[in-house]
Amino acid sequence: VDKAVKAALIAFPAWRDMGVKARVEVLFRFKSLAEANLKELTYLVVKEHGKNRGEAEAEVLKGIETVSWATGLPDLLAGRILEVSRGVHCQEVKRPLGVVASIVPFNFPAMVPLWTLPIALGCGNCLIMKPSEKVPLTLMRFAELLHEAGLPKGVFSIVHGAQAVAKGLAEHPGIAALSFVGSSRVADLLDKTARAGGKRSLCTGLSAKNHRIAMPDCDEEMTISDIMNSAFGSAGQRCMAASVLLVVGKGRKAFIENLVAKAKSLKAGQERDD
């Protein structure tokens, strides 16, 4: 962790001063390379995570969408000057934080890293990312594509490991901000560690308890299909998966029996499945 932070601190001034237009040009090239290597990236997600091909490809494409959005940062980062009173003007200037870190989970090895990677880099920060130790390959391929796209050395680094590495990122004084996607329990521990280390910012995406309500006048077959997709898609390994169901009305017993029968008929997907 310390080596990655030192490399990022060295790279930061030049990357910050490069200007947002030049930084976004790197993201444009990275986006094109990711699209050109879609089949390989999909294959990596399938092999290291176990998703079927259709879900893996959809995940990679969703991540590339975020890169596309980040290429619009020149407009979003433009400052402004406001006349707040007669003869009094306020100037808004947006500046990068410096070296930032991101800890990402196992369930979406392509999409979730791309929630933070292009935006942090496009805004002028240097980023250190820790993938789940279970699924490091897709992110490593992203790093190779970023290098091919012209990203300077030290601007983006990957650190591998489990709890000790995550703790190291949270407490390192050279890291200005931390992003984490994962469980609420771990987030609470990281929050305490990060704030004790003087972090200015902590952004978290945490676990959820997602409720579904089936009303008496619902279309039963369509509602059950939606519940099945929500609860069991990606084998339920996603933060928005349905985990609580409330069935309202006199027909709830038959509704639940129908749902259970369909759930029992589910089969695990194969790699080749779309």
Residue numbers annotated as active site: 239
- Burial track 38-54 (b if 16+ CB lie within 10 A, e otherwise): eeebbbbbbebbbbbbe
Q: How far apart are CA 99 and CA 12, in angstroms?
A: 7
Residue among 153, 55, 151 at smallest CA distance from 107: 55
Tokens of 258: 């129908």
Q: How far apart are CA 100 and CA 195, in angstroms?
A: 14
3-state secondary structure of 240: coil
Give, in degrees to the nearest 5, the angle at Cα 62 between 244 and 259.
25
- Quote the crossing angle between the two packed helices 20-36 and 113-122, to the nearest 10°: 150
By residue count, the chain amounts to 274
Contact predicate 122/70, CB 8 Å? yes
